[in-house]
Structures are given as structure tokens and as C-alpha cells.
Amino acid sequence: MSLADLRREYRNHVLTDHDAAADPIAQFRLWFDEALQAESLEANAMTLATVSPAGDPAARTVLLKGFDDDGFVFFTNYESAKGAALTARPRACLLFFWRELERQVRITGDVSRVSREESAEYFGSRPRESQIGAWVSPQSRPIPHRGVLEENYESLTAQYEGGPVPVPPFWGGYRVAPGLVEFWQGRPSRLHDRLLYTRTPTGWTRVRLAP
């Protein structure tokens, strides 16, 4: 089968103007809950798109760890490639794709670091192995071989044995404050539903986009 022949019809759901929430965070919460109920694989996985200091676009998958009216939060190494990109250009786009529900959500907005208290609270909830892993990896930097990571892991495991693992100073959270939120629902004949919410000084506006 050729790539040109790979296609499917989307028939499972609709997104009407009548049923959509007036607030995109409320609509996201509804869809996210339905993705969890549908047992979507890694329902909180999202593509994070940034622009590097040199102007090159980049995208990678990260995990959503919280959201509310203020924005969408994820955690990472501040000294990573995405950290450098967000320092230079603190804007990003997030994309969720829930295959089982034939849905996408695209979020664009300004990015800021969360407080150290919020980062510490989340770090404390992580499995101990992940806490140590945050210290081990010089994320996005070249390493000579995998053994370096394994040696560092063993060394730090011994160093922190019997006590808490502190939060690395180079690790923490980012919050994407949404300015645009688009909900995409697959429909038959490629006549998909697309609702775009835009934040204004007086609240959210919503328009329907052609597919």
C-alpha cells in the first residue's frame, strides 16, 4: 500500500457550537477527562514546539503535569535545548493528539517558569528513581557513552541513600499561558470541526474555522 492510500474516516464524535464550553479551559478539562476514560495511551503527552535562539523550530514530546486558568505546566531541565529556546523566546505551542477520540488540541501562548515552591512540590511527588535521574542527565549535551549515565546514577544513589533527594537548581517547571486554543474533532469526508478560542482583554472569543 502506498502512502497516498493511507487514510481513515473519522466518525466517532462531533464538536458543535452549541455543546462547546464558552471557556477553553473548561472545554479542555472535559476532553482531557474523556481521553482518560477512553484509556488513551499517555493522555497527558503533548508535543512542545519552540524556536531556538538561532531561529530554528524544534518539537518534542513532554508530559503535562497540571493545568488551570493560568496555564499548562510541564517540568524539565532548564539547561536543556528547550530550556535555552524558552529563555531566548518565551513562547511555545502545545499539541495534544488523542487518537482514540479522533481529537487534537493546539495551545499557543507565553511561557514563564513556575515558582521554586511549585517545582519542589512536584519534585517531591516523583518516584525516587526519577528524582535521581534528574540530577544524572546533562540533558541535550553530548556524552561519550551510556555508561556515563549509569555510573552517575549509581554514584548519586549511594550519595543520597537514607535521605531526601534535593531539587536540582537547574530543574523546574514551565507554565504556558494560553492565548490561542484550538479544538479539532475529526469528521467524515475531511469536513472536520475546528473551534478557535482567542484570549482578549475582556475574555475569550470563539470562531469556527474551515477544515
How many Cβ atoms sit within 10 Å of the Cβ of residue 52? 14
Of the candidates 19, 11, 69, 20, which has an alpha carbon nearest to the alpha carbon of residue 182?
A: 20
Cβ pair 76, 123 in contact under 8 A: no
Out of 11, 116, 141, 190, pick the active-site residue. 190
How many Cβ atoms sit within 10 Å of the Cβ of residue 177? 15
Alpha carbons within 13 A on the beta-carbon side of 166: 4
What is the rounded distance in angstroms from the CA atom of residue 191 to the CA atom of residue 211?
Answer: 6
What is the rounded distance in angstroms from the CA atom of residue 60 to the CA atom of residue 85?
Answer: 12
Write out the three cell numbers for 44: 497527558
- Tell me the Cα Rg of the chain: 20
Write out the three cell numbers for 173: 517547571
- CA 46-50-52 angle, to 5 degrees, is 150
How many Cβ atoms sit within 10 Å of the Cβ of residue 70? 14
Residue 29 catalytic?
Answer: no
- Residues designated as active site: 190
